[in-house]
Amino acid sequence: MAESRLVVVGGNVLPNTARFPGISVDLATRDTLTKLLPTATAMLVRDFAGTWIPAVIADSGDRLSWVHVNSVGVDHLLTPDLVESDIIVTNSSGVLDQAIAEYVLATMLAFAKRLPGSFRRQQRGQWRHEPSQRLTGSTALVIGPGAIGAATAALLRQVGVLVDAVGRSGKRNEHGPFGEVFTAGELARRVGDYDHVIVTAPLTELTRGMIDSRVLDAMKPTACLINVARGEIVDEPALVAALQTGAIAGAALDVFASEPLPQGHPLWSLPNAIITSHMAGDFIGWRAAQEELFLDNLGRFVGGLPLLNQVDKRLGYVPWSALRHNGVGHPLREQTDGSAAPEPDH
């Protein structure tokens, strides 16, 4: 490949590209990106809230051929101009999957074992015996059977949870960890069969507002909602109403329509809500793991090889068949039919 130039947006430290002596690297800010990008062939986006970036890309000319995003979600970048362009977009699928799955399990256990109420009573010095529930034998519906959803399902199955999914097509991946896979159109009809509803889907026009009052009303009153995807997938006012009235038992939320979650928002004070600050996947060392995936891709880019985790820009996510990493960083087995499936559990 001809001389390559990489522009990095976000953070204040350049990636360690010493193994690629033929590539030049610049660290750009919002003020300098417009000047630097027209001469770049590749771009690393670390700014997860950079909604201003697509406009700069659109005005940068035709030299840029690859954008890598240090997150799973790429919805903030996929403007119509970028979707229609020849620019390849890749993401960090696979790096955070297992950590997010562990977060989901932790919040399910917190609700089942009555921990939020116990913590509050501890602060008051109040002793009250209360029986808890078992996760074994309970049911979960994962909305979004991609890499994160699959890692979550695999972990939940190890503690005896029965896991189905809702996906775009409803087609079951024979190598995946789900029982049944339903279509999005079946969600409201199926959701009432499950004790836990877990949102792991990307934000697309199909999923925006998917968890609305109709879906919440159809859930079991004993069920809990867990959202580790994007806040805009859930109708927050409808969720607040469902929690306040007891239409559902609880919600664990790591993402919100507006972040940080504004002070005074009713979700902060609801006793049946667990609120965390968009940190479900942020394990100690996650930035280094993301950089290693990016550098792997950079080597492929410089060498003219196919890139990992290529986003289908029209769908808004990496299709299952294009994934090459699972939740613990191991490559996925490539099947003879061209699809990809997780390595078997050991």
The answer to whether 278 is a known catalytic residue is yes
Instruction: Indicate the residue type of 32.
Output: T
Beta bridge partner(s), residue 274: 252
Instruction: Please give the Cα distance from 59 to 71 (Å, whole number).
Output: 24
**Residue 230 a catalytic site member:** yes
Instruction: Give the angle 75-79-82 at the CA atoms, nearest 5°.
Output: 110
E strand residue ranges, the chain: 4-9, 23-28, 42-45, 66-69, 88-90, 139-143, 162-167, 181-183, 196-199, 224-227, 250-253, 273-275, 333-334, 340-341
Q: Which of 19, 134, 189, 259 is catalytic?
A: 259
- Neighbouring residues of 56: CB distance < 8 A, sequence distance ≥ 6: 33, 34, 37
CB neighbour list of residue 235: distance below 8 Å, 6 or more residues apart:
209, 211, 212, 213, 216
Tokens of 166: 């809702």
Catalytic residue among 157, 190, 278, 300: 278
Q: How many residues would you count in the chain?
A: 346
Catalytic-labelled residue, pool 68, 76, 168, 230: 230
Q: In terms of Cα–Cα distance, which of 47, 50, 87 is closest to 67?
A: 87
Residue for token pair 């026009």: 205
List, by residue number, the catalytic residues: 230, 259, 278
